[in-house]
Amino acid sequence: MYGLVGKSLGHSFSKDYFTEKFSKMNLDFRYENIELDDVCEIVSFVKENKDLKGFNVTIPYKESIIPFLDSLDETAKEVGAVNTVKVFEDGKLKGYNTDVIGFEKLLETTHKTYNNNALILGSGGASKAVQYVLKKKNIRFKVASRKTFQSGISGEESNIIGYDEINSDGFTPYSMIINTTPVGTFPNCDECLDLPYSTIGTYHVFIDLIYNPEETMFLKKARFNGAATYNGMTMLREQAEAAWGIFRTLEF
């Protein structure tokens, strides 16, 4: 058994994705949505489900699940967030971050060179994976957060700005804008962050990690104003493939 751990999973494509994969590979496995009201419930869930071999983690538990894991791989340690957990035969849990791989692949599809600043909207677990990739690629970035006291990866507090600063300066200082928040996810497709979209130009690239709907209101507004736009489907597929690779690897 494999699964997806989160709180409200009606929007997720992961179950269908893995179920189809298992069918194509003629594997007698199943993939379930595991909705938990509190992340601490993962401990009892693992104990009660001895056939659980691994699971993915989504909003809102990518960071809060870490204290319940026995170990982390190096990337997950640096990122400070986990989206993949492998369950070993002795019940030990090891956390990984394949969102990093997914976002790297997504960036490659844009075929762009980013010499200017990037702006990341949101400061949660997905944001930390994006920060990790941008830092690795030496792309300067700011993180817009409603919690301006919150630090990014590696304690880069100076990178955190409030949304009021965006509304003051517009998108002009940035070449790439990435939405890592859940705002606009199905079924709330008409929702959109309140931002100065009129300052968008043709030199902008807008990325939304949301994949359902295919085009969020955030991306529609960006496209209307001339920006190149990309949704999160590539990231979803690539992080899922990387997670599957982890699940299948024998490791002690």
Question: Per-residue pLDDT tens for 47-57?
Answer: 999 999 999 99
Could you tell me if 130 and 44 lie in one domain?
Answer: no
Could you tell me if 224 and 110 lie in one domain?
Answer: yes
Cα–Cα separations (whole angstroms), residue 206 to 94, 177, 237:
33, 5, 19
Could you tell me if 124 and 75 lie in one domain?
Answer: no
Could you tell me if 109 and 88 lie in one domain?
Answer: no
Print the domain residue range for 75. 2-98+236-248
Could you tell me if 137 and 207 lie in one domain?
Answer: yes
CATH number where 33 lies: 3.40.50.10860
Could you tell me if 47 and 122 lie in one domain?
Answer: no
Could you tell me if 51 and 139 lie in one domain?
Answer: no
Query: Would you state the pLDDT for residue 168?
Result: 84
Nearest Cα residue to 120 out of 214, 213, 193, 65: 193
Could you tell me if 140 and 177 lie in one domain?
Answer: yes
Q: Which residues of the chain have pLDDT under 50?
A: 252
Could you tell me if 79 and 139 lie in one domain?
Answer: no
Could you tell me if 90 and 140 lie in one domain?
Answer: no
Number of domains in the chain: 2
CATH number where 111 lies: 3.40.50.720
Query: Would you state the pLDDT for residue 176?
Result: 97
Query: Would you state the pLDDT for residue 6?
Result: 94
Query: Would you state the pLDDT for residue 152?
Result: 56
Query: Would you state the pLDDT for residue 8?
Result: 82
Could you tell me if 171 and 104 lie in one domain?
Answer: yes
Nearest Cα residue to 216 out of 245, 179, 244, 171: 179
Global model pTM greater than 0.85: yes
Could you tell me if 215 and 164 lie in one domain?
Answer: yes
Query: Would you state the pLDDT for residue 252?
Result: 37
User: What is the per-residue pLDDT across 120-142, written as a single tens digit (0 to 9) for each?
Assistant: 999 999 999 999 999 999 999 99
User: What positions carry a catalytic annotation?
Assistant: 62
